[in-house]
């Protein structure tokens, strides 16, 4: 079953045509990686799905409904079902780690304080951040912030998680730990995950399918095995991480 369907999505900033009519289907419960060189519009794609940018043209269907036609109330309800992990974590630095994770639980649920505390501690335990509940986000490393960001993203038990470069800026060990965490959430909670990344190790460790964005269009969509054996010179260059090839640096 298709969870997210992107159809002919176009987005430009002035004369810069970032997305030139992209199409992508993401199935229920899969981990889809969107890869590509920096500046190819991966984050723009994620921001369109997250509702942070409005596309110029095209459709974004979630569970078969075009979210671009949603009214304010439907958008709010949709956002409760979609968790987003930002590249720089996006934690509120005026709140503690606990308050960050409890943010939506406090605002949109009728749980008691004790229940919310239990849920926040559980989520922080899941991401290995127990003991940091009352720390200020600014005092944490980026890797730790990302784990707290992930705990916040899953606090409302979302059906979809969107991750913008979750392993960028963290050491390889922590990168692997973040990947394990995403995999665990996907298996245990059955969430559909869209990951924007250019970390090839992560792709081969975690992805169910991969799509490669190049000059505003997808030039490859398929499984990791197909990605590895793809003959397209542009895909080969990216997989091998070579500075020489059709993709200009």
Partner 1 sequence: MRFLERLGDSIIDLFATIGSFSIFAGRTIRWIFARPFDRSTLLFQMQEIGVKSVPVGVISSFFIGMVMALQLGGALEKYMQGISTFLGGGISVSMVRELAPVITSILLAGRVGSSIAAEIGTMRVTEQIDALVTLATDPIHYLSVPRFLAAIITIPMVSTLAILIGSFGGAVVSSFMYDIPYAMYLENARMFVDYKDLGSGVTKTFFFGAEIALVSCFTGFRAQGGAKGVGQATISAVVISLMMIIVSDYFITYIFQLFGW
Q: Applying CB under 8 A, which residues contact partner 1?
A: 47, 50-52, 76-77, 79-80, 82-84, 86-94, 103-104, 107-108, 152
Q: Toward partner 1, which CB reaches closer, 44 or 212? A: 44
Q: Are strands 65-66 and 57-62 parallel, antiparallel or unpaired?
A: antiparallel
Q: Toward partner 1, which CB reaches closer, 24 or 85? A: 85
Q: Least distance to partner 1 from the beta carbon of 33, Å?
A: 20
Q: Least distance to partner 1 from the beta carbon of 80, Å?
A: 5
Q: Least distance to partner 1 from the beta carbon of 217, Å?
A: 25
Q: Toward partner 1, which CB reaches closer, 76 or 233? A: 76
- Residue 244: how many other CB atoms lie within 10 Å: 8
Q: Toward partner 1, which CB reaches closer, 88 or 233? A: 88
Q: Which of 244, 204, 240, 234 is nearest to 40 (CA)?
A: 234
| DSSP single-letter state for residue 138 | G
Find the helix packing angle between 142-153 and 113-126, rounded to 10°: 130
List all residues 6 or more positions away from 128 whose beta carbon is below 8 Å from its beta carbon. Answer: 147, 177, 181
Q: Least distance to partner 1 from the beta carbon of 231, Å?
A: 38
| Residue position matching structure tokens 């110029």 | 56
Q: Least distance to partner 1 from the beta carbon of 47, Å?
A: 8
Q: Least distance to partner 1 from the beta carbon of 150, Å?
A: 12
- Note whether 241 and 235 are within 8 A (CB): no
Q: Toward partner 1, which CB reaches closer, 99 or 133? A: 99
Q: Toward partner 1, which CB reaches closer, 77 or 187? A: 77
Distance CA 148, CA 138 (A): 12
């Amino acid at each position: 079953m298709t969870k997210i369907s992107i159809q002919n999505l176009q987005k430009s900033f002035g004369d810069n045509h970032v997305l030139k009519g992209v199409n992508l289907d993401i199935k229920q419960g899969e981990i889809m990686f969107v890869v590509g060189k920096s500046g190819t519009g991966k984050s723009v794609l994620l921001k369109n799905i997250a509702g942070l940018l409005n596309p110029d043209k095209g459709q974004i269907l979630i569970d078969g409904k075009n979210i671009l036609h949603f009214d304010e109330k439907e958008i709010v309800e949709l956002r409760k079902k979609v968790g987003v992990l930002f590249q720089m974590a996006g934690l509120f630095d005026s709140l503690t780690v606990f308050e960050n994770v409890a943010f939506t639980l406090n605002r949109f649920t009728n749980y008691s304080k004790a229940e919310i505390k239990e849920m926040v501690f559980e989520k922080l335990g899941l991401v290995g951040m127990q003991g940091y509940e009352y720390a200020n986000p600014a005092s944490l490393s980026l890797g730790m912030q990302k784990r707290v960001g992930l705990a916040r993203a899953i606090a409302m038990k979302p059906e979809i998680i969107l991750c913008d470069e979750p392993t960028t800026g963290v050491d390889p060990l922590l990168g692997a730990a973040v990947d394990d965490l995403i995999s665990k959430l996907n298996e245990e909670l059955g969430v559909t995950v869209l990951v924007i990344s250019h970390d090839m190790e992560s792709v081969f460790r975690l992805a169910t399918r991969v799509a490669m964005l190049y000059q505003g269009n997808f030039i490859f969509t398929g499984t990791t095995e197909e990605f590895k054996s793809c003959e397209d010179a542009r895909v080969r260059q990216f997989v091998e991480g070579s500075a020489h090839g059709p993709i200009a640096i």
